[in-house]
Amino acid sequence: MKQISEDIKQGNFKQAYLLYGEERYLRRQYRDRLRKALCGEDDTMNTHFYEGKNINLGEIIDLAETLPFLAERRVIFISNSGLFKSGGEKMAEYLAAPNGSTFFVFTESEVDKRSKLFKTVQSKGYAADFAVQDEKTLKRWIGGTLGREGKKITENTVQQFLTKTGTDMENIQMELEKLICYCMDKEVVTDEDVEAVCTTRISSHIFDMINAIADKKQKEALELYYDLLALKEPPMRILFLIARQCNMLLQAKELKSKGHDQRSIASKIGIPPFAAGKYLAQASRFKPEKLRQAVVKCVEAEEAVKSGRMNDVMSVEILILSVL
């Protein structure tokens, strides 16, 4: 990311940039910064956009070979093409010796670093990995965003905010906008403000539901399930998330028993490092066999729905009751 900022500052651009990784917000921000720096204002003649897996590489390469019209460069933006996982050999061959006046900006959520195209962009241009940001970075960003609006937030409140929003910066940005509008006449954002306007992500509902199950609070677990149904969440998606949560807790528990630290556990089960402690605390409330049984019951519930023996709403309801 620093390299892209430096290239923009100096006006010394590489011919190919790849912006990849889980953090969509940062990918979009840096793509827009590159567009502003590389492309002339309102220059539609030399700025081109392609998206999806069915793009025509022959057409793009022909376009890349065409000199820019009354401009210094032609810029081609390609997003979500899948070329960095398969089918990118032709583009890799072209980028080995491209037209000097044509520049490429690729944005992808997933890449294969072993692919020829990835290696070509890495050697001829610049590949930036936009991973999920750590807790410290997110808190600093949230504090800075609120600070620019003349507002303050405590450590405990920002932690509560992140518990509701998750780590996706795009979602955090939307929730911050709501919070800023709600607290228009206030200097300090409170826990009550966060509770009043911020939407709890479904993953947090599932986490709370598993906590209720661990505490044998049948009524609370069902109320959380009915809340999700009221939010139009499909029962089968809720079932999938319960199964995934139980499986992740089982993995966390087993990794902990093998001596892995929190950062290693977070990496292996696919959660932010700062959330590992929370998962381990929840996992400690279950015996491994109980979690394995819960995963099996989730599979059985899904089969009951698919076979027509039970409707989806009742199937998940019975599952929640049976794992208590």
Distance, CA of 98 to CA of 284 (rounded, Å):
56
Both tokens of residue 122? 């890495």
> Do 172 and 165 contact (CB within 8 A), yes or no?
yes
How many other CB atoms sit within 10 Å of the CB of residue 78? 21
SS3 for 271? coil
**Annotation: CATH topology of 202-322:** Zinc Finger, Delta Prime; domain 3 (1.20.272)
Distance, CA of 120 to CA of 302 (rounded, Å):
44
Both tokens of residue 7? 């290239």
Domain 135-197 sits in CATH 1.10.3720.10: no
pLDDT tens digits, 231-275: 788 999 999 989 999 999 999 999 999 999 988 998 888 887 777
Per-residue burial over 129-161, b = 16 or more CB atoms within 10 Å of its CB, e = otherwise: ebebbeeeebbebbeebbeeeebebeeebbebb
How many other CB atoms sit within 10 Å of the CB of residue 8? 16
> Do 134 and 272 contact (CB within 8 A), yes or no?
yes
Cα 67 to Cα 37, 56, 89, 117, distances in angstroms: 19, 19, 23, 23
Per-residue burial over 13-24, b = 16 or more CB atoms within 10 Å of its CB, e = otherwise: bebbbbbbbbbe
What is the homologous superfamily of the domain 2-129 according to CATH?
P-loop containing nucleotide triphosphate hydrolases (3.40.50.300)
pLDDT tens digits, 180-217: 999 998 999 999 999 999 887 777 788 888 989 888 88
With bands split at pLDDT 50, 70 and 90, how would you rate the model's confidence at 277? Answer: confident
pTM of the model: 0.70
Higher-confidence position of 220 and 271: 220
324 pLDDT above the threshold of 70 = no
**For residues 282-296, average pLDDT:** 92
Indicate the average pLDDT of the chain: 92
| φ, ψ (nearest 5 deg) of residue 77 | -105, 125
Do domains 2-129 and 135-197 share one topology? The answer is no
pLDDT of residue 135: 84
Strand ranges (E), 9-157? 16-20, 47-51, 74-79, 102-108, 126-129, 152-153
For the chain, first and last CA: distance in Å?
47
> Do 116 and 88 contact (CB within 8 A), yes or no?
yes
pLDDT of residue 25: 93
SS3 for 146? helix
Distance, CA of 237 to CA of 266 (rounded, Å):
23
Instruction: Report DSSP state, residue 68.
Output: P
Strands across the sheet containing 126-129? 47-51, 74-79, 102-108, 16-20, 126-129
pLDDT of residue 88: 94
Q: Which one, of 230, 212, 243, lies nearest residue 316 by Cα?
A: 243
pLDDT tens digits, 103-158: 999 999 999 999 999 999 999 999 999 988 888 899 999 999 999 999 999 999 99
| φ, ψ (nearest 5 deg) of residue 128 | -115, 125
Q: What residues does each domain of the chain span?
A: 2-129, 135-197, 202-322
Q: Which one, of 284, 168, 179, 304, lies nearest residue 235 by Cα?
A: 304
> Do 114 and 5 contact (CB within 8 A), yes or no?
no
pLDDT tens digits, 30-76: 999 999 999 977 888 999 999 999 999 999 999 999 999 989 999 99
Distance, CA of 98 to CA of 81 (rounded, Å):
19
